[in-house]
Structures are given as C-alpha cells and as structure tokens.
Structure 1
Amino acid sequence: MNVPGVGLICHVLLLETDDGLALVDTGYGARDCLDPARLGPVRHFLRPALLPTETAQYQIEQLGYRASDVRHIVLTHCDFDHIGGIADFPDADIHVTAAEARGAIHAPSIRERVRYRRTQWAHGPKLVEHGPGGESWRGFVAAKPLDAIGDGVVLVPMPGHTRGHAAVAVDAGHRWVLHCGDAFDHLGTLDRRHRVPFFVQAQQDLLSFNRKQMYDNQARIVELHQRRDPDLLIVCAHDRTLYGLARDTA
C-alpha cells in the first residue's frame, strides 16, 4: 500500500496442519483486484497495488496447492485490507472473536458501519465465533487454543484497534510466531531506535476503536519483545522491515 511517506505491506501467514492449510488473515483478494470499488473511497489514499500475483490464493496455488485446501482462516480483525481474500476460499471456516463479529457484522455502530466493507462477506462465509474466556498466554488473558485447526494455534484477544481485534500465536516447532495484526503497525513501537512515521502513528490513533486498550496491549507486546525470548518471533501486519526480519530468520 503506497501511502504518503511510507510503503506498507499486508502480511499473512500460511500454516500447514494435519487438517489441510490454514491462513492468518488474507490481505486483499482476487475480487478486490478485479473490482477495486469494493474497497470504497479510502483506496485512493492507501493506493494498494492490487496485483493478482500478490493475492494469497495465487501464491498458494504457486506452491502446488488448491484454494480448496485452505480449511480455516483466522482473522485478526475485519478491516478490508485483512479480509478481502476470504471470498477466494469459500469452503474455509472463518475464525473470529465474537466481539469482532458483532462490531463488523451483527450489530455495528455507526462508526463501524463506515469502517467495514460488507461486500467482502456478501458471499456468506462460514463464521466460527469465539467468545470471551480462555487461558493465559504469555501474560495475555483469555487466549483460546483453536483445537479445530490443530495443536499450537492460539487466538489471543488484543482489542483496541477494533472492538474485537486479536493476535494469533502459532507454534512453528522451533519457536512461536505471534502475528499481532494491527495491534501495532511499525517496528518503532517495539524498538525506540526506529522512528514511527507520522502517518502511521496518526492513522493508528485515528482508527483505534479504544485507544487505551490498544496502548495497554502494545505495552504488553513491548514487554515480550524486550525479553528477547529466542523461542518467540513477533510480527505485525504492515511493517515491511519486520517482515524482512521474519523471513531472514525463518
């Protein structure tokens, strides 16, 4: 996404499980590429590339799989740059917190009606909603192991950016990967030696559903980062530098 002063990506995770493939978020989808108007007027500011070769569906097929091999999709939240591809995987179960489903689909506030793009789930996806409660995961309460997907996939609620935003922790064998979605947006949140660009900071504050919750969760993420645990890799959805570090140390 070619926003003024900074280039952002839409980082998703592809997981191989005993029950087929699973995705954490989807980024923009094939239908978004064909019909950018689905994204609304904000697309003129974010200026997403919308290249079919960058969609999750295309890249999965390049690995030799079929779209139907994706059995589960876990959403960090329902902003259009995270769920545009769910229509490319119509047979997948879509896992989301119940709070996010309420804010995006069932009973959105006026502010949420403006935020979300209902056309992206007009195909009738199969929602699996996860309510409050759960167990502690590295200091975050109410985390839910997603046993339907497989061992070592945990939904970690981190509300603030949206009503029901969540991170997703994945046990990759040699370490855990914590995909924080939009709980933070830039490496500078974790490491003060890097400056968070003005636009990134401004849009983070502007879009937050509950700013206090967002910053409380960021403080916990920073604490995890400062421990330098070798068995934990923290990434977010949009930072290009963090994505590179994740790729280089995979």
Structure 2
Amino acid sequence: MRVRHLNCGTMQFPGAPLVCHVLLVETANGLVLVDTGYGLLDIANPGHRLGPARAFVRPVLDPSEAAVNQVARLGYSPQDVRHILLTHLDMDHAGGLADFPHAQVHVSAGELASALAGRTLGEKLRYRTAQFAHGPRFIAHEPTGEPWLGFPAAQQLADIDPRIVMIPLPGHTRGHVAYAVQTDGRWLFHAGDSFYDRSVVDGRGRQPLTLTLQERMIAFDSRRVRDNHRRLAELAHHPDVDVFSAHDPTLFHRLARKALLCPN
C-alpha cells in the first residue's frame, strides 16, 4: 500500500509556520485521503468560507497546494478518491471536501453532530458550515472497537482497507480522532490536532508560545488534550510507529523525504 505525504495548506501562523499534512493512500478500493486541507473554494472565496480566523492563521491559499490539484498532478482523477477520513471538521482539515463530492467522508459521530448542530458557543464559532453546503456523503462512526497499542478502543476500517485504523482522541474537539495506516511493517499515526509541535512528543525543545496559547484557547477539553500529549509521547517511542501532527512542518518534510527514498 503506497502512502504519499501532501502539504495541502501552508499557514504563516505567528511565530510558527505550519502545514496541513494530508495523507494520500493507494488501496485496492481506490484512493483514500486522510484530511483534505484547504480546498479550491476556500481559495476562491476565503472571506465566506474561512471567516475572520484566516487573519490570524494566515493561510497562503496557493491553488497548487489544493489536494485535488496534487491528486491530478500524480495522474489521478478526483473521482479516484473514494474515501476521505477526517480527524475533525475544523476549516483547515475539511476545506477540500467540495473538491471530491463523490467520496464517502468518514468522521466520528460526535464530531459530525458538533459541526452540524453546535452544542456550545465554541462549536458554533469554529465550524464553517459553508464548507459542508454541497452535502458531503458523511459516514458517522461510533468510538468503539478493540484496544490498540495502549489505546482502549480502535476501529479497523475493514470496508476501506484492514490496514487503516480509526482511534478516538477527543480533546481538541468533541469528536476528534486519529488514524493509523500500516505500510511496510510500520504504522503511520496521523494524530491530527491532538498536538501541534513535535516537541510535545519527542521532548526536545519547547513548543512556540503562540501554538500553546492557540491550543488552549480552542480546545474543547484541555485536560484531555494534556492526557493525549502524554499518550502520544509514549507512542512516539514505539520502534514501529511514526507519530506526527497535522501541522508540524519538520515532521511533514521528514516523512515526505522518507517516503520518496523508500516508496511503499
């Protein structure tokens, strides 16, 4: 199973440039995206699609970074993307959904309910309903399953590919999840926004203050975020697991280079 690493949204975040780390997974059942980054409609109409938050996160909004254009450059059609697996529905993760209207969109049931109904003021503000106006083909998953590498519940997405696992990691949002993809005997663990900076899991250096403040400001449950940090730091020491966040540029480039040198 080949996995490609795509940056689908450079952001000039104050004090810490960021990426939108998206996985493109080739399976026997078609292509799978893990997150989408920003999409073409976000780039064309950022005021309506992204709202005032764009002035703070400062997305570059380069059409060449849109997942749909990167998929095309690899020789595929947008229709070849059969499934999209979302860690959560924040604007920098779900913006590209409209570029793949035929894909089934997999998300946790709690996350979908929060995005569409918004039970708290924070949830009403953080989700951009314009990004869902085209009517995505949502598939809601409950956080159940078997234990996986120390996590109490993980759901094998066997209908897509048995080597892809959804792991509930609420904290950043109510229904945030991670995805583990097994390739070449190793696991790629896409932790979404469960952490921002690599220092959280490798213990080297310190996370930029702007990222720490951002994380605390928008977290649905800060205690769970801290718990997730500890669990992910432990997982990062596993010899067969590569743990990465959606936004750390160093981890993105490291894994992208590794994939080029050792294609699956």
TM range (shorter): over 0.9
Q: Distance in 2 between matches of 1:140 and 1:217?
A: 10
Question: What corresponds to 1:14 in structure 2?
Answer: 24
Question: What corresponds to 2:3 in structure 1?
Answer: none
- 1:246 is aligned to 2:255: yes
Which amino acid in 2 is paired with 1:25? D
Question: What corresponds to 1:62 in structure 2?
Answer: 73
Q: Which of 164, 168, 184 does residue 175 from structure 2 map onto?
A: 164
Which amino acid in 1 is paired with 2:34? V
Q: Distance in 1 between matches of 2:204 and 2:32?
A: 35
After TM superposition, what 4+ stretches of structure 1 lie above 6 angstroms from structure 2? none
1:51-95: CA deviation from partner (whole Å, max 9, x where unpaired): 110010000000000001000000000000000000000000000
- Displacement of 1:107: 4.6
Contact 2:118 2:124 in 1 (8 A): no
Q: Distance in 2 between matches of 1:35 and 1:52?
A: 12
Which amino acid in 2 is paired with 1:77? H
- 1:220 is aligned to 2:220: no
Q: Which of 81, 91, 109 does residue 98 from structure 1 map onto?
A: 109
Contact 2:200 2:207 in 1 (8 A): yes
Q: Which of 123, 137, 142 does residue 126 from structure 1 map onto?
A: 137
Q: Distance in 1 between matches of 2:131 and 2:162?
A: 29
TM-score normalised per structure 2: 0.92
Contact 2:145 2:153 in 1 (8 A): yes
Alignment of 1:1-250 (within 5 A): 1-37=11-47, 38-227=49-238, 229=239, 231-250=240-259
Which amino acid in 1 is paired with 2:20? C
Contact 2:39 2:97 in 1 (8 A): yes
Which amino acid in 2 is paired with 1:9? V
Q: Secondary structure at the match of 2:96?
A: helix
- Displacement of 1:215: 1.1
- Displacement of 1:4: 1.3
Q: Distance in 2 between matches of 1:127 and 1:106?
A: 15
Per mean C-alpha deviation after superposition, the further-off stretch among 153-162 and 134-143 is 134-143
Q: Distance in 1 between matches of 2:219 and 2:236?
A: 22
Per mean C-alpha deviation after superposition, the further-off stretch among 172-181 and 68-77 is 172-181
Task: Give me the identity figure in percent.
Answer: 47
Q: Secondary structure at the match of 2:52?
A: coil
Which amino acid in 2 is paired with 1:51? D
Q: Distance in 1 between matches of 2:25 and 2:119?
A: 31
Unaligned 5+ residue runs, structure 2?
A: 1-10, 260-264
Contact 2:190 2:244 in 1 (8 A): yes
Q: Secondary structure at the match of 1:248?
A: helix
State the aligned residue count. 248
Per mean C-alpha deviation after superposition, the further-off stretch among 68-77 and 100-109 is 100-109
Unaligned 5+ residue runs, structure 1?
A: none
TM-score normalised per structure 1: 0.97
Per mean C-alpha deviation after superposition, the further-off stretch among 28-37 and 217-226 is 217-226
Per mean C-alpha deviation after superposition, the further-off stretch among 100-109 and 76-85 is 100-109
- Displacement of 1:106: 3.6
Contact 2:122 2:218 in 1 (8 A): no
Q: CA RMSD in A?
A: 1.0
Q: Distance in 1 between matches of 2:166 and 2:148?
A: 10
Which amino acid in 1 is paired with 2:251? L
